[in-house]
Structure 1
């Protein structure tokens, strides 16, 4: 759809250039019954430039590509009305472009809410840059200490926030897999998790925003960023997103596991239980390690399947450890519900980027 829309913008721009050339006598369009003043011809050139600019911005993935498209439509339509008999077909094309402008505006507004929330956190952020030391690990179970050391976090600044980008696939029960790309920000001292996903579901552009900002937790998914297919802010979302927050810490910020809000129970040599409490919400998870000291799975009974609104055992087996921003973490993971009739993998995640302790929100091209 995007390719077809870009081609439409370019084709419409080319037609406007022909109208411009006709106005100045450089091209003779016989089907025009009306003399076109040079000023009108220049305006059509201006409209063409705006359409070209919109197409270029859209190809580059700029959120505000629709601004030049809207200006181009306004200029174009104004002079179409003045030569209606010859140019009325252009009104139909402008209408199609306007539909795309509306969708583009809706996408920018929806994603803009995510960016505004992230920016608001950064405006009040102060990084300590204190280093993680061996003494910080003393109260942790041995296997967790080994995991943190193996990650390379000791001697580096303590994790206060981190930024993630994923490519992957998701599905619902009975549904087909669809691809997605996501980016998210996690903030540790005052827990927040802001996650934005872009996908195509059955060929339709679909965006989703998970906002975990205790005591609030919300999930909104919109088709074309207009029609809400999912909108959940029930109380069950708070423990659910708290589990996800702890999961992110365990998998992608090993150094953050020194957090005093986490209580630990050693179950055996390779299994520990983490109990995380924040703002009257308490959740727990069992962490599974292999003989080499890598975390290989995470299981919690406290996460809700929002489709059924009931707690279902949740696991995230991981593998393919790699170094990101100096820290060794898993590059691939799956999200699995364990229903009464068996496990169901609903998400596959490939880590593409990970950065720690950002002082400000990265520019668009870096995020």
Structure 2
């Protein structure tokens, strides 16, 4: 099985194969979401699919790892990411700020990675209850696709570990404002001994990404490898690749989050120079971590593509200061980052 290792090959396959497949599955979930009986749940489901579909477009790239099971990986990824985006909307819009509610909602993600797990009432703490089976259908799709992946039994533990970090973050970041930072700092203390070179907010950023889960799914679908390989993949993507991914996400959302009084981990850097320095630190960490992986060139191009996609966003391009900072980051990312940067810039303007 040949995994693409050239930037133009990845771009071609993304546009001709994986993104259209992601759109196909998204269209099916949008139809299902439009039939949700409860108005609030229906609106949040449709809003997440309408405004966050690009998460699935980007995640579709990991289908390229799976050979003949490419579409099955994309089907899993779209369902899992749709759960993440839907639940994030429900937590963001919650008036209760109840951590029990957030934890119970996000138990859906653990069940999605556990074929055979009994489906539950994930809305237990909410007034809104009737979703017409929408969330259960998403979970069952994840379970049913994972069952077909020959390597899943070896990858499951690592996928669930990364998912557990994500679930914890979603609880701690959505509680009362005055409780968020103390909870996140206390949480980091439990992991500081294995990640001493990160700050608490960099660790939190790394837990917010789903890229490691999709990488593991891609290799699980191939059926190759050993438990050691899957553990190595997890350790390569977390915290390095995932941390860089989410710090870039927070970088472009600074103004929006400030206006909405939302938590943004970029704001904890003392100044712009420190932020750029730490971005470079994460890039160096990524380069080192992916050297141990099979298909090293593919993973390198993925991280360089992530840099380009975020930094060509209009939120950056229309802000003179942010655009100058973006250029510094892209230059450090290497030649392929600049290739993806130019192509992403052109594509956004054509689109």
State the TM-score, normalized to the length of structure 1: 0.29
Give the number of the structure whose residues are more often strand, by fraction.
1
Give the number of the structure whose residues are more often helix, by fraction.
2
State the TM-score, normalized to the length of structure 2: 0.30
Structure whose alpha-carbon radius of gyration is higher? 1
